[in-house]
Amino acid sequence: MGLFNWGQSQEDKQEYEALKSELATLENRLDAFLAKLNERVDALLSGFIEEAPSVMAEDDRFGQAYYRFSSAMKGQAGSMREKLREVLEKQIEPVYSRYSDTLSAGSEGYSILHEWRHRCARKADEWEEQLQHRVDEATEQVERKDYEPVFAQMMNDYWQQCQLINCRQCGANLNIKQVYYYSAYVACSHCQTQNIFEPGTIARDIEHTARKLAEQRSKHFMDAHERRKREERSLYQQMHELQLTLSMEERVKRSGPKYEQLLSLESKRLQAESEAPELLDRYYRNIFDELTKLLPDLEEHHEKFFKSLQANYQRYESKRSTNL
Amino acid sequence: MGQNPLFEPIHGISLYDYSAANAKIANGVAVDAICSALGVETPVWEEASQGWVQRMQEDSEFIVISEMGVLFGQASEHPKLGHLQPVAGAGNAQNLDRLATDRYFYEELSGARTAAYEAGLDGAKWIQDNYGISLGDFQQVAMQWMEQQRDESSEETLEYVNYMDAKRQEYAKRFADENGGNIADDVEF
């Protein structure tokens, strides 16, 4: 108990050194463990990026093979995450519990132990965050596709196919002039017979592809929205750190250079906070405007769909209260 | 519900028809058989289907999709579609009955299905191959349990969630062993 109550005996010093040494050894092992996991993440993601194109090339129209392939990659990433959590639970936490029961609160040993635990947890959190970021990045890289030529080709194939459709009764060309996304009755202009036109899988995928293309054309608004949200968070964090350094006088009088700096940050933060939802709104508005350009016959539905979506994302908008 | 225009039938196809038909289609019943039982031609069914999808997209309160979930779980009681079975047969009735009455069995298979997908397998097919339960039947039972979950206490829900996750991990280990292990199994602390 002596050492842990700030004793100065030789035995205390030895115990103190032993504690520091044990913690340092475990932390070094954690660093090495994370480095080894990173090597596996490198292998996992480079394999994913390399093989994905061939999986996609041979896939069905629903992308089921790619879905399984990417799920497997995410499953492996998840297994590494679980392995790390197990290390924290079985290697780090028991050591923390063992010492925290014996060290006096407020002692140097206690403080070293707490900081060590906090550092280990932060390293694990940062590693997980980085893993998620890399998985997202790799997925985006693999799934990135220019939908302009894909959509153009689809429409071209559809219209070419329509030219070949004749009336089942008189054989005249049905002269199809509109996009049918699914089977539909089409009347023959010569003999008035009702034909059932089955437009096939291309037409069934037109709406989905148009949506992807409209999202692609609107992405710059989403990027700007996310950028503004990140800026707002960063400004809020800067304000929080600055607030911690304010003197009592500055707090009470609400004045002084630091307080001025705080107000300046708040003004920028408010601007970012108000612009972020506007940009999100422009993103969705633009998607539906583009969709209507691509598929004009669905304009009425696009408008209703947009209003429904807008009602939902606006429902969850919130603003911070900084109370300056 | 009767007053809400969002629930008006489309070309005579009600939300119950649409929901039960989708449960049957997910179960392997052919669209032709559905149309025949409902007494409509394919173009009518397809336009009505498209209409119901659009209604759900336009419904900001999610009441249509929520009601569809309930009706999806009642497909077997639908007067015109309830009796329809896929050509391949009704599957394993005993396992299906257990899935609908034994919550832990349902949670186990849910965990196994997630683990299967995370191992790069087709989770729905794995359940079909090992327990004779089709995706459609599984989803129907899932809807029943989701309905029941509304009346559960948070402790009960948590217990089922934990049970499912424990099973997911158990099956994940099993699938990993069958596939030669996970990528970082040999990384030691």
Q: What is the DSSP string of B28-71?
A: T--HHHHHHHHT--HHHHHHHHHHHHHHHHH-TT-HHHHHHHHH
Percent above pLDDT 70 for chain A: 98
Residue A260 has a pLDDT of: 92
ipTM of the complex model: 0.74
8 Å CB contact of B189 and A91: yes
Q: Does A285 score more than 90 pLDDT?
A: yes
A74 touches chain B (CB under 8 A): yes
Query: Tell me: the pLDDT tens digits for A224-266?
Result: 999 999 999 999 999 999 998 988 888 888 888 999 999 999 9
Q: Which of B42, B115, B118 sits opposite A183 (nearest CB)?
A: B42
Please check whether residue A291 is in contact with residue A283, taking contact to mean a CB–CB distance below 8 angstroms.
no
Ranges of chain B with pLDDT below 70: 1-2, 88-91
A81 touches chain B (CB under 8 A): no
The number of angstroms, rounded, from the C-alpha of A288 to the middle of its chain's C-alpha atoms is: 22
Residue A3 has a pLDDT of: 46
Within 8 A of B49 by CB-CB distance, chain A residues are 182
pLDDT band, very low/low/confident/very high, at A319 (cuts 50, 70, 90): confident
Provide φ and ψ at A173, rounded to 5°: -70, 140
Residue B93 has a pLDDT of: 82
- Mean pLDDT throughout A174-183? 91
Residue B95 burial by CB count (10 A; 0-12/13-18/19+): exposed, middle or buried? middle
Q: Does A2 score more than 50 pLDDT?
A: no
Specify the amino acid at residue A169: Q
- Mean pLDDT throughout A41-54? 96
- Mean pLDDT throughout A265-283? 96
Nearest CA in chain B to A68: B120
8 Å CB contact of A182 and B176: no
Nearest CA in chain B to A25: B189
SS3 call for B108? helix
Residue A50 has a pLDDT of: 96
pLDDT band, very low/low/confident/very high, at A55 (cuts 50, 70, 90): very high
Q: Does A143 score more than 80 pLDDT?
A: yes
Nearest to A214 by CA among A297, A137, A283, A308: A283
Q: With a CB-CB cutoff of 8 Å, which residues 156-215 of chain A face chain B? A: 181-185, 196, 198
8 Å CB contact of A33 and B182: no
Please check whether residue A292 is in contact with residue A231, taking contact to mean a CB–CB distance below 8 angstroms.
no
Residue A203 has a pLDDT of: 87
A314 touches chain B (CB under 8 A): no
8 Å CB contact of A305 and B57: yes
Tokens for B46, please give them. Answer: 């397809």
8 Å CB contact of B183 and A304: no
**What is the pTM for the complete model shown?**
0.77
DSSP state of A104: P
Measured CA to CA, the distance from residue B75 to residue B73 in angstroms comes to: 6
Please list, residue by residue across A209-240, b when 16 or more beta carbons sit within 10 angstroms of its beta carbon and e when fewer do.
Answer: bbbebbbbbbeebbebbeebbebbeebbeebe
Measured CA to CA, the distance from residue B3 to residue A176 in angstroms comes to: 38
